[in-house]
Chains A and B, each alone.
Chain A
């Protein structure tokens, strides 16, 4: 009995530590991304702590109740942030996750969907024309994107015969018996659609500041906006980490601190790639983006079929 309590306390402590770590890290990553973007654009850029400053400023501001149903965007903000923080407890971040490696990998897919739902709730709660346009664009994107992740996880599960995070979501896509065709196709597909998962140019159609004025985020202000911004920062870090887990599992065999460091180096590279792509592209129009995601989805389903055949 005492031993069980001890385990629970240990797990809880590990969860808190993991959550604190990503909470501390994400705004710093945002600052670094902005610095990198600024350098590409021949600018000086803000200090790397700017992510922190922005959040502190917004948290100290009044939450203007501009939305038609003011509690809905606020609840959505907590839901999105909470979802992301829970994901931090399930996802391996260079070491075994606090909640163990036997969690069902499909849960990760659900968490990504749940985080996206926050955008819908916020937009529909705000009720303004532009917010609704933003939300409906977000639905279109979600419907096509979520299956991509699901396919990647299921392909891993098929190869490894297990749905546990440690099996299906840790490079499982490459565990085919022969040459890992399905894994490589999925790697390319998700890489090409990845900016959409983290709401970056060229696929930030649901916010699109110069078209629909931040869409679903439009009526959010103060702390609510801060939480959504925090969520976006966490998304960049955690989804990149998820990508590394799914597709770039190599070189972590050494274990310990070395593996942990190597994991974050890889994640950092993915984030830098996202920032560079965003700086070098114009935004796609909604119909262009949707067509693109449709092509990716078709390719992903093809990859699933290959995985079923054992490739």
Chain B
């Protein structure tokens, strides 16, 4: 087995630093490493064994093993292995050598566990606060198990604002966001601009971090969480729904029935279709080409209707439970879906031809927002961004899940690494998705759609799952736990990695290209959190605080 071979290589090189390993299934590999060797092991895995960086997870495992845990997850895409490199840290001094210097893609993830779990990445090149709000006091870490999910620290200060770095000399600052017509969700890029040329930027996001992981680990149960997971994203929610269910199944060794796997595949591809159509529309809107924007949305609409017919909702499908799915695709629905796909294929052919002929669009997108294969590797960029740079990765083929090992499809790759290549990748992936759904409808056998689960899931088991979202790989990491809920659930959406590539993608480009370069990663942030009201009679302006908004939402109206 490939994982065993790799283990031997590592043992030969690092000896006793490799403490123990666990190959839970052919494609899943957990490996415990001495904390002081973790940097060197990760460097070796990333550089010499050419693994792809996935995510780093910090865990407060004190109530169970008496330690803190850090897991650096890597993927061996050619060998179909998702690996977790774990280090156990003492409870009194949670410190670990930072790997961000060797593996730049880990920059955010380490800052995140520093904020949320309070594990210090020693030697991190840029240890600035990433996730926690500005008014949150130092030394309080919400993802620790002794911190309640609804607890707000007493010395929380609403007045503190984020401290930005100084811009480089000779540059003026152009604030891009938190609200901008092309940012559908709040995020702040502070652009350093010389004339109309962007020289660099600083990013402040996580403005509406919703604490979903904490909520799941504290108050929800295994089968509630899929419905919470799909609310992570308003566009690729089903991806998170499936990825979570698969992560738990992988941890507990549950095999969903074949029909359920086909149904998952169909719904995931349906989601990719509507997401890619939406993206092509929005990209055109960003470029001022509203006609194609409107046409893309018209073509997309029947997909939303069939999704509603299957699941009851246009978007949040509530598809999975652990071990199966909730919705059946009946023969009449399958027939209708086939008809919709035929029409879509015809209309999308017209769009693809129109886009291919349009020199105007090409002039705005060729050579813009460059991300080459090297940047993809360094920052762990994903999905169409990676494939447009010639990096041939796709979880559907590399780490097959659901029914993807039973259908044929091509992974679309382009070579130029610019926005135009990303347009081409997405346009062509639509045809592949249509192909996949047709094969699923063809091959689905009648049968049950849910595996009965009679026994309680064993606690302390690790599950990893990657699902190819329209924007790239969504990775879920689960440690099973007591009380019918996981101890730890870490979600890494593709935008988390892709956003880290944006500063490099917009450097030395014009301000006008900023929006389409950012748009080309198809970013996905979250929703709004502040409100200002003006009393027209008195002219008084009142900014509602978080506490007041909560009061407004939760207090019962008295009649």
Q: Are A282 and B289 in contact (CB under 8 A)?
A: yes
In Å, the complex CA distance between A210 and B298 comes to: 21
Tell me the bound Cα distance from A204 to B290 in angstroms: 14
Residues of B499-529 at the interface with A, using a CB-CB cut-off of 8 Å, are 510-515
Contact residues in A for B364 (Cβ distance below 8 Å):
282-285, 288
B291 within 8 A of A: yes
Kindly list chain B residues whose C-beta atoms are within 8 Å of the C-beta of A286. 196, 510, 512
Q: What string of 1s and 0s marks CB contacts (under 8 Å) between B48-82 and chain A?
A: 00000000000000000000000000000000000
Determine if A40 is an interface residue (Cβ-Cβ < 8 Å). Answer: yes
Q: Would A41 and B291 count as touching, CB distance under 8 A?
A: yes
Nearest CB of chain A from residue B480's CB, rounded to whole Å: 46
Q: Could you say which residues of chain A place their CB within 8 Å of the CB of B326?
A: none
Task: With A211-B512, A213-B181, A287-B510 as known contacts, state yes or no: A282 contacts B288, CB within 8 Å.
Answer: yes
Q: Which residues of A contact B363 (CB under 8 A)?
A: 284-285, 288
Contact A281/B181 with A129-B174, A211-B512 known, Cβ cut-off 8 Å: no
Which B residues are in CB contact (< 8 Å) with A41?
290-291, 293-295
Docked complex Cα distance between A67 and B463 (Å): 55
Q: Which of B18-26, B279-287, B400-408, B438-446 contacts its partner? A: B279-287
Is A202 an interface residue, CB under 8 A from the partner? yes
Asked if B538 CB lies within 8 Å of chain A CBs, one says no
In the complex, are the beta carbons of B286 and A210 less than 8 A apart?
A: yes
> Which residues of chain A in 186-241 are interfacial with respect to chain B, using CB atoms and an 8 Å cutoff?
201-202, 204-205, 208-213
Could you say which residues of chain A place their CB within 8 Å of the CB of B196? 133, 286-287
Known: A210-B515, A211-B515, A288-B363. A283 touches B181 (CB 8 A): no
Judged by a CB distance under 8 angstroms, whether A6 is at the interface is: no
Contacts of B298 in A (CB 8 A): 42
Report yes or no: A283 in contact with B294, Cβ–Cβ below 8 A.
Answer: no
B551 interface hit (Cβ, 8 Å): no
User: Pick the contact of A209 from B173, B181, B289, B291 — CB < 8 Å?
Assistant: B181
Whether B290 and A279, one on each chain, are in contact in the complex, defined by CB atoms closer than 8 angstroms, is yes
Collect the chain B residues with CB atoms within 8 Å of residue A210's CB. Answer: 181-182, 285-288, 515
A281-B536 Cα distance, complex, nearest whole Å:
42
- B174 engages A282 (CB within 8 Å): no
A60 CB to closest chain B CB (Å) equals 13
From residue A192, how far is it (CB to closest CB) to chain B in Å?
A: 14
Interface residues on B, range: 20 to 34
Q: How many angstroms between the C-alpha atoms of A42 and B293 in the bound complex? A: 11
**Who on chain A is nearest to B175 by CB?**
A129
Whether B360 is near chain A, meaning CB under 8 Å from some CB there, is: yes
B286: nearest chain-A partner, CB-CB: A210
Provide the residues of chain B in CB contact with A285, threshold 8 Å. 363-364, 510, 512-513
| Chain A residues near B290 (CB-CB < 8 A) | 37, 41, 201, 279
Which residues does chain A contribute within 8 Å of B295, judged by CB atoms? 41-42
CB-CB under 8 A from A69, the residues of chain B are none
CB closest chain-A residue, reference B512? A285
Q: Considering the chains assembled together, what is the distance between the CA atoms of A236 and B174 in angstroms?
A: 32
A-chain residues with CB within 8 Å of residue B285 when the two chains form the complex: 210
Q: Give A22 Cβ to nearest chain B Cβ, in Å.
A: 27
Contacts of B293 in A (CB 8 A): 41
Q: Contact at A213–B512, with CB atoms within 8 Å?
A: no
The CB with the most chain A CB atoms within 10 A, among B284, B291, B513, B514, is that of B291
- A273 at interface by CB-CB < 8 Å: no
In the bound complex, residues from chain A placing their C-beta under 8 Å from that of B173 are 129
Contacts across chains A and B counted by CB atoms under 8 Å: 80
Bound-complex Cα distance A41 to B291 (A): 5
A211 to B506, CA, bound (A): 14
- The docked-state distance in angstroms from the alpha carbon of A285 to that of B515 is 12
B361: CB under 8 A from chain A? Answer: yes
A124 nearest CB across to chain B (Å) = 16
Query: In the complex, what residues of A have CB within 8 A of residue B289's CB?
Result: 201, 281-283
Interface members, chain A 76-135 (any B CB < 8 Å): 129-130, 133
A24 located at the interface, meaning its Cβ lies under 8 Å from any Cβ of chain B in the complex: no
Q: Is B4 an interface residue (CB 8 A)?
A: no
Contacts of B286 in A (CB 8 A): 210
Which of B196, B361, B512, B514 lies at the interface centre, i.e. has the most chain A CB atoms within 10 A of its CB? B512
CB contacts (< 8 Å) of A37 on chain B: these are: 290-291
Say yes or no: A280 contacts B291, CB within 8 Å: yes
Chain B 275-318 against A: per-residue CB contact (8 Å), 1 yes, 0 no? 00000000011111111011100100000000000000000000
Does any Cβ of A come within 8 Å of B180's Cβ?
yes
Query: Which residues of chain A are near B294, meaning CB under 8 Å?
Result: 41-43
Q: From residue A156, how far is it (CB to closest CB) to chain B in Å? A: 32
Which residues in window 264-311 of A have CB below 8 A to B?
Answer: 279-288
Given A40-B291, A133-B196, A211-B360 contact (CB < 8 Å): no
B511 touches A212 (CB 8 A): yes
State the Cβ distance, A157 to closest chain B Cβ, in Å.
Answer: 36
- Nearest-neighbour CB distance to chain A for B513, whole angstroms, equals 7
Give the Cβ gap from B218 to chain A, nearest Cβ, in Å.
41
B511 touches A282 (CB 8 A): no
Tell me which residues across on chain A come within 8 A of B288, comparing CB atoms. 201-202, 204, 208-210, 281-283
Residues of A within 8 A of B360 (CB): 202, 281-282, 284
Give chain A nearest CB distance to B283 CB in angstroms: 10
Q: How far is the CB of A1 from chain B (nearest CB, A)?
A: 55
Which residues on B sit within 8 Å (CB–CB) of A42?
Answer: 294-295, 298
Contact A208 B512 (CB under 8 A): yes
How far does the Cβ of A39 sit from chain B's closest Cβ, in whole Å?
11
Shortest CB–CB separation between residue A177 and chain B, in angstroms? 39
Residues of B within 8 A of A40 (CB): 291
| Closest chain A CB from B38 CB (angstroms) | 44
- CB < 8 Å: which of A130, A205, A212, A282 contacts B287? A282
CA of A284 to CA of B289 in the docked complex: distance in angstroms?
A: 10
Top 10 A-B residue pairs of the complex, sorted by shortest distance between their CB atoms: A283-B288, A41-B294, A282-B289, A282-B287, A285-B512, A279-B291, A210-B286, A210-B182, A201-B288, A41-B291
Known: A279-B291, A282-B358, A288-B364. 17 other contacts (CB 8 A): A133-B511, A208-B512, A210-B285, A210-B287, A211-B182, A211-B514, A211-B515, A282-B288, A282-B360, A283-B287, A283-B289, A283-B364, A284-B360, A284-B363, A285-B510, A285-B513, A286-B510
Interface residues of A (CB under 8 A from B): 37, 40-43, 62, 129-130, 133, 201-202, 204-205, 208-213, 279-288
Q: What are 17 A-to-B residue pairs whose CB atoms are below 8 Å?
A: A41-B290, A41-B293, A41-B294, A42-B294, A129-B174, A129-B175, A133-B174, A201-B288, A202-B288, A209-B288, A210-B287, A211-B182, A211-B515, A281-B360, A282-B289, A285-B364, A285-B510
